[in-house]
A and B are shown apart, each in its own frame.
Chain A
Amino acid sequence: MSFLAPLFMLGALAIAAPVIYHLIRRTTRERTVFSSLMFLLPTAPRLTHRSRLEHILLLLLRCLALGLLALGFARPFLRKTAPSAAAAGQSQRIVVLVDVSASMRRAGLWADARERVAAVLRKVTPGDQVAVFTFGRQVSPVVSFEEWRNALPDERPALVATRLAATVPGWEGTHLGNALIRAAEALSDADAELKLAPGPRRIVLVSDLQAGSAFDSLQAYDWPKGLEIQVEPLKARNPTNAGLQLVADSPDADAQAVPAVRVRVSNAADSTREQFRVGWALAEGTEFSGPAVDAYVPPGQSRVMAVPVPANTAGLQRIVLRGDDEDFDNTVYVMPPEKQQLNVAYFGGDAADDTHQPLFFLERALPNNPHLSVKVNVHTPAAALSPVEERDTKLFFVTEALSPGVAAQLREQVLAGKTVVFTPKAAAAAPTLAQLLAINDLGLENVQPANYAMLAEIDFQHPLFAPFADPRYSDFTKIHVWNYRRVKAAAIPGARVLAKFDSGDPALLEIPVGKGRVLALMAGWNPEDSQLAVSSKFVPLLYSMLELGGGLSAQSTQISVGDPIAIAAGTDPVAAVAVGLPDGTTATLPAGAPAFAQTQQPGIYQLNLGSRTLRVAVNLDAAESRTAPLPADQLERYGAPGPQPVVDTAREARREALMQGAEAESRQKLWRWFIAATMAVLLFESALAGWTARRQAGSVTTGGITP
C-alpha cells in the first residue's frame, strides 16, 4: 500500500496524546465540594505510575481511532505497476523553434538565441528526436527529424550549431501562431513518419517574444494532447526601440500646401528615450537630405507626423529615424504610387449633360483620383474606333443599336479578349447584341412590370457580385426597375445568368465570346429604367466591371516584407522578368508567374515588365517595431499548453508517479474505508467510555453537600 500524502502519517504521533491523557490522573472529571479553599493551594497534576495506566481498552481504542484517521488522511492507495513514460526512459520529440524575425536583429539577441539552443540541446538524450526550425513570417527547417536521426549522436549539436551559424535573422514579421501550429504539426507527423511509440512531445520556443508577434491563428487551434511548450525568452540589451512606418495618404493629400509624406513614429513600451529625429536620407548612415522633423514620442505611444518632401527628390526613396538604439526598423522606403490610366468607350447618342441618360451617371461614377483615372470616350452609334482607342480601350459600354460596321469592330475586340457591357435602352438594339454574339434570332422585347421589378437570384459567386456577398451589402431590393428588356437566356448558347428579375427574367447575363465576354444588363441605370444609378451599388458594380474587363489592377507600390509583388492581370509577361533587388542583385521571375514572392529584405524592388518598370517599396512589418516583451501568460491565453519550467528527469519521474498515485487514489478511494473504520471505533469507544463512567459514578462516594 502506498500513500499519496504520507506526511499526514505524522498525525499518528497524536497517539501519544491519549497515552499521556490516560497516565494523567483524571482531574477535570471529578469535582469535590469543599467548605473553604482558604487554606488550600492548587497542586499540579501528576503522572501516575506506569502500572496505574487505566482503562487499557479505551486507550487502545483511542489510539486505534487516531491511527486510522491518520492513515485515512494520508490517502492510501494500492499501486498498480504501470511504469511512467519518463521513468521508462521513453524518448522525447522536441521541436526547437528559433525566432529569426526582424526584431531578432537587435544587438546580441541572435547570439543569445544560438547559445540558448545549444543549452537546450545539451540536455537532450541520445534517444530523443529533435528538429530545429526557424520562423519569421514563414517557418523553415534548419535540421529536420530525419537529419537529426541520421547524424551521429555526438555530432548532432554541432550540426545544429553550424546550420544556425549560417543563418541570420531576416526582415520578416513574427508570425508566432503559425510557427507554433507548424511545429505541433511537425511533431504529429514525426510520430507517423518515424513510427515511434507515443511519447512526450515538446516545443522549445527561443524568441524575444515581442509584443508585435501575431497570435491570431492560435485562437481556433485545437492543441494536440500531451504537448508542452517550453519558452526560452530572450532579453534585449537595449530596451529603447522606436519604429518608423508609412501612413496611408489622407484623401485630401492633394490639398496640402507643401507635399509631405506622413509617417508614424512608434516607441516601444519599455523604451528609455523619447526624442527622435525623422528626415529623408539618401542612404544608411548619411546625413539628412533636407530639413528633419523632431519627434517627441513617450514610451508605449506613437505619433503621426508629416515629413516634407524636399524640392529635389531625385534618388530620395527612404525616410530614416535617428536617435534610436536599434536601427533595424528605422528606415521606410517610399515609392509614390503610379497613377493608372484607363480608357472606356461609350456608344450612345446621349448628351453629356442630359440627366435622363446613362452617360451622365457613368461619367460621374467612374473614379478620377491620384491613383486611378478613367477616361470615357463617347462615340455615336455609327462612329468607329480609332486604332489608338482599339489598343488602349478594354471596356465598352453599348446602350443603343450600333451600325453593323461598328458592331463588327466591337465583336473583334471582344474576340480579342475585351469586355462589352451591353445595356440596351430599347428592344430595338437586339440586332446589335445578336451581331456581337453572332446569333441570328434574339427575341428582345420591352417589358413594363405592373408595379416594379426587383433584382433577385443574384450569383454572388461571380467576381462581378463577389464584393456584395457579405449579407450586409447583399440587399438589392431597394433598386426598383420600371422598364427592362426580356431576353431568352436559353436562346443564347453559353450564357450565364448572373442576376434575375423577380419575374424570373434574366437581368444580367455573361456571355463568353472568344477570349472576351459580353455582359448583357437588361435594364439601364438611367432614371427611366431603374434606380440603379442612384443606389449605393452602382459605383462598386462599375469598379467590378473595370476589374473584370477593364484592366484595373490592385497594384500596390507599398508592401511589407514577405508579401508577394503581384503583377497586374492583363500585363502577364510572356517572357521571364528580371527583378532588381534592393541589395543590387537580380532575381528572375519565371514566365507566367503571377507574383514575385521572394521579397525578403526591405527596399525598392524593380520589375522590368517590358513596356514599363514596376517599382515597389518593400518595408518592414509595422508590428515588428513593437519590441516590448509579451506578458508571460500570453501564450496560455491563446490556449497553448503553457510554458513549463524545465525539470530534471528524476523530478519528472517523481511527479509522474505522484500523478499516477493521485489517479489511483481517486479511483480506489480507500480513505473512505479508513474514515468509516475510525467512526466505528469512535462509536464503540464512546459507548464503552459511557458505560465505564456510569459504573464508576455508581461506585464512587465522595464528600459533599448534604441538602
Chain B
Amino acid sequence: MIASAHSPGLSSTALIDPRALMSIRNLELRARVVVEGFWKGLHRSPYHGFSVEFTEYRQYTPGDDPRYLDWRVYARSDRYFIKKFEDETNLRCHLLVDQSRSMGYGSTGYTKSQYAATLAATLAYFLHLQGDAVGLLTFDEQVREYLPARHRMGHLRQLMHALEKPAGGRATNLTTPIERITGLVRKRGLVAYVSDFLAPIEQLEPSLLALTACGHEVTVFQVLDPAELTLNLEKAAMFEDVESERTIYIDPVLARKEYVPRIEAHCAAVRAMCEKLGISYHRLATDQPLDLALFEFVQGRMRRGRLSRPAARSHA
C-alpha cells in the first residue's frame, strides 16, 4: 500500500498507491487511511471568532456586540475594550464535486469519479477532524445534491453517503454549481472545486470571479485520467463521447499528435484563469497518490494563510 514518493516536497515521505487505496471499498475508510497517514493539517481561519485562544484587544466602537466587552479591563482602566479570539471552528468548507458522465471514465481500473469522491472524502474527513464545518454540492448538468456546511455528529457520514451515489447526469455544466454556491453561502469560506473541466470554460471565469469576489477562498482540483492526458490507447476504434454519444473513428496513434497539445492547451487555459483570479489550481491524474493532493492542498493553504493573514487581520 506504500508507494514511492511522487513529489520533491515529499521525497522522504511514503505515499499511498492510489490503485491500492481504491481497492478499499468504503469511502470513509479510504479517507481515513489518507488522513491518518498524513501530518495533522495546519491552517488558519480567516475569521476571528470568540473562542478559547485570545488574540488581542480592540477598542470598543459603537455597534460592537457589548457581550464581548472585557469588563475587567473596563474596571481597571475605565475604558471599553473588546476581546478578540482566534476563530478556530468557523472555517466553512464547501466541496463542489462533479458527477457528470465524463467523470465516469477511467482507464486505470477506477474512474475519475471514484477518485474525485475519495479526494472529496479525504478533504472532508481531514477538515472534520480539525473541527471545521464541511458542506457538499454535487452536480452534473445541474445541481444534484447539496449538504450545507456543518460540524456535527453524523454529518460526515451523510456526506460520505452523498459522495458514494453513482453519477447519473449526462452533461457537464461548470458554472451552475458556482452560481448556486455563491447564492447559498453568504459567509466567506473555503470552496474546493473538483472536476475534470472537460467542458467549455468560457462562462466559467465570470462565475469564479463572482465567487472570489464574495470573499471565498477557492481551490480547484482538475482530475484527469492519464489516458486523457496522453491518449495512450492502443487500438483504433469508434470512439463514443460518453456525454453526447457522438461517435467518430479514432486511431490513437494518429490522433495523439493533435490531441495532446489540444488538451494541454485546455488545461493551461484553466490554470491561467485560476491564476488570474487568485485561485489555487491543482491538476491531479488519477494515478497520482491522494495524500499528495492533500499535501498540496494543505501546503497551498498554509502559503495562502501566510499571505492572506495580514489582510484578514486588517479586515477584522
Q: Which chain A residues have a beta carbon within 8 Å of chain B's beta carbons? A: 25, 27-28, 30-46, 700, 702-703, 705-707
> Using an 8 Å CB-CB cutoff, how does the interface string of B96-112 with A read, 1 for contact, 0 for none?
00000111111100111
Residues of B within 8 A of A46 (CB): 251, 254
> Using an 8 Å CB-CB cutoff, how does the interface string of B101-142 with A read, 1 for contact, 0 for none?
111111100111000000000000000000000000000000
- How far in angstroms is the closest Cβ of chain A from B38? 27
Measured between alpha carbons, how far is A524 from B176 in the docked complex, in Å? 130
8 tightest CB-CB pairs across the interface, nearest first? A35-B105, A39-B262, A703-B107, A30-B237, A42-B248, A35-B102, A32-B237, A36-B198
CB under 8 Å from chain A, chain B span 220-243 = 225, 227-228, 233, 235-243
Q: A40, B248: Cβ atoms under 8 Å?
A: yes
Measured between alpha carbons, how far is A28 from B247 in the docked complex, in Å? 10
Residues of B within 8 A of A44 (CB): 249
Residues of B within 8 A of A30 (CB): 235-238
Q: B242, A33: Cβ atoms under 8 Å?
A: yes
Kindly state whether residue B250 has any CB partner on chain A within 8 Å. Answer: yes
- How far in angstroms is the closest Cβ of chain B from A701? 10
Measured between alpha carbons, how far is A479 from B262 in the docked complex, in Å? 121
- How far in angstroms is the closest Cβ of chain B from A540? 99
Closest residue of B by beta carbon distance from A46 = B251
Residues of A within 8 A of B238 (CB): 27-28, 30-32
Q: A35, B198: Cβ atoms under 8 Å?
A: yes
A32 with B251, Cβ < 8 A, contacts A703-B227, A707-B166 known: no
Chain B binding surface SS class:
mixed
Q: B105, A37: Cβ atoms under 8 Å?
A: no
Q: A32, B228: Cβ atoms under 8 Å?
A: no
Q: Which chain B residues have a beta carbon within 8 Å of chain A's beta carbons? A: 101-107, 110-112, 166, 196, 198-199, 225, 227-228, 233, 235-244, 246-251, 254-255, 258-259, 262-263, 266
Q: A32-B237, A34-B239, A36-B102 are in contact. List 14 more A-B contacts (CB 8 A).
A: A30-B236, A32-B250, A33-B105, A35-B102, A37-B246, A37-B248, A38-B199, A39-B262, A40-B239, A43-B250, A43-B251, A702-B235, A703-B106, A706-B111
Q: A706, B198: Cβ atoms under 8 Å?
A: no
Among B236, B243, B247, point to the contact of A36 (Cβ < 8 A): B243
Q: A38, B166: Cβ atoms under 8 Å?
A: no
Closest residue of A by beta carbon distance from B265 = A39
Measured between alpha carbons, how far is A37 from B239 in the docked complex, in Å? 8
Measured between alpha carbons, how far is A44 from B240 in the docked complex, in Å? 16
Q: A702, B233: Cβ atoms under 8 Å?
A: yes
Among A25, A32, A700, point to the contact of B239 (Cβ < 8 A): A32
Measured between alpha carbons, how far is A36 from B250 in the docked complex, in Å? 12
Measured between alpha carbons, how far is A39 from B225 in the docked complex, in Å? 14
Q: A706, B237: Cβ atoms under 8 Å?
A: no
- How far in angstroms is the closest Cβ of chain B from A100? 82
Closest residue of A by beta carbon distance from B110 = A706
- How far in angstroms is the closest Cβ of chain B from A705? 5
Measured between alpha carbons, how far is A524 from B196 in the docked complex, in Å? 133
Measured between alpha carbons, how far is A25 from B249 in the docked complex, in Å? 11
- How far in angstroms is the closest Cβ of chain B from A443? 122
Residues of A within 8 A of B239 (CB): 31-34, 37, 40
Measured between alpha carbons, how far is A450 from B247 in the docked complex, in Å? 113
Measured between alpha carbons, how far is A183 from B246 in the docked complex, in Å? 81
- How far in angstroms is the closest Cβ of chain A from B224? 9
Residues of B within 8 A of A36 (CB): 102, 198-199, 228, 241-243
Q: B235, A32: Cβ atoms under 8 Å?
A: yes
Closest residue of A by beta carbon distance from B231 = A40
Residues of A within 8 A of B166 (CB): 707
Chain A binding surface SS class:
loop
Measured between alpha carbons, how far is A551 from B107 in the docked complex, in Å? 127
Closest residue of B by beta carbon distance from A706 = B111
Residues of B within 8 A of A25 (CB): 236, 251
Measured between alpha carbons, how far is A41 from B249 in the docked complex, in Å? 9
Among B110, B246, B249, B263, point to the contact of A39 (Cβ < 8 A): B263
Residues of B within 8 A of A37 (CB): 239, 241, 244, 246, 248
Q: B104, A706: Cβ atoms under 8 Å?
A: yes
Measured between alpha carbons, how far is A25 from B105 in the docked complex, in Å? 25
Measured between alpha carbons, how far is A37 from B259 in the docked complex, in Å? 10
Measured between alpha carbons, how far is A28 from B166 in the docked complex, in Å? 30
Residues of A within 8 A of B111 (CB): 705-706
Residues of A within 8 A of B242 (CB): 33-36, 705
Measured between alpha carbons, how far is A44 from B254 in the docked complex, in Å? 9
Residues of B within 8 A of A32 (CB): 233, 235, 237-240, 250
Closest residue of A by beta carbon distance from B262 = A39
- How far in angstroms is the closest Cβ of chain B from A584? 104
Closest residue of A by beta carbon distance from B247 = A31
Could you show 24 A-B contacts with beta carbons less than 8 Å apart? A25-B251, A27-B249, A31-B239, A31-B240, A32-B250, A34-B105, A35-B102, A35-B103, A35-B104, A39-B262, A39-B263, A39-B266, A40-B250, A40-B258, A41-B258, A43-B236, A43-B251, A702-B237, A703-B106, A703-B107, A703-B227, A705-B242, A706-B104, A706-B106
Measured between alpha carbons, how far is A40 from B247 in the docked complex, in Å? 11
Residue among A30, A34, A40 with max Cβ neighbours from chain B (10 Å): A34
Residues of A within 8 A of B250 (CB): 32, 34, 40, 42-43
Q: A705, B102: Cβ atoms under 8 Å?
A: no
Q: A38, B240: Cβ atoms under 8 Å?
A: no
Among A31, A40, A700, A706, point to the contact of B259 (Cβ < 8 A): A40
Measured between alpha carbons, how far is A33 from B227 in the docked complex, in Å? 12
Measured between alpha carbons, how far is A38 from B197 in the docked complex, in Å? 11
Closest residue of A by beta carbon distance from B166 = A707
Closest residue of B by beta carbon distance from A41 = B258
Closest residue of A by beta carbon distance from B103 = A35
Measured between alpha carbons, how far is A678 from B271 in the docked complex, in Å? 63
- How far in angstroms is the closest Cβ of chain B from A495? 113
- How far in angstroms is the closest Cβ of chain A from B269? 12
Residues of A within 8 A of B259 (CB): 39-41
Residues of A within 8 A of B107 (CB): 703
Measured between alpha carbons, how far is A43 from B242 in the docked complex, in Å? 19
Measured between alpha carbons, how far is A298 from B246 in the docked complex, in Å? 77
Q: B233, A703: Cβ atoms under 8 Å?
A: yes
Residues of B within 8 A of A39 (CB): 258-259, 262-263, 266
Measured between alpha carbons, how far is A179 from B105 in the docked complex, in Å? 95
Q: B249, A42: Cβ atoms under 8 Å?
A: yes
- How far in angstroms is the closest Cβ of chain B from A44? 8
Closest residue of A by beta carbon distance from B248 = A42
Closest residue of B by beta carbon distance from A700 = B235
Measured between alpha carbons, how far is A31 from B248 in the docked complex, in Å? 10
Residues of A within 8 A of B105 (CB): 33-35, 703, 705
Residues of B within 8 A of A31 (CB): 237-240, 247
Residues of B within 8 A of A707 (CB): 166
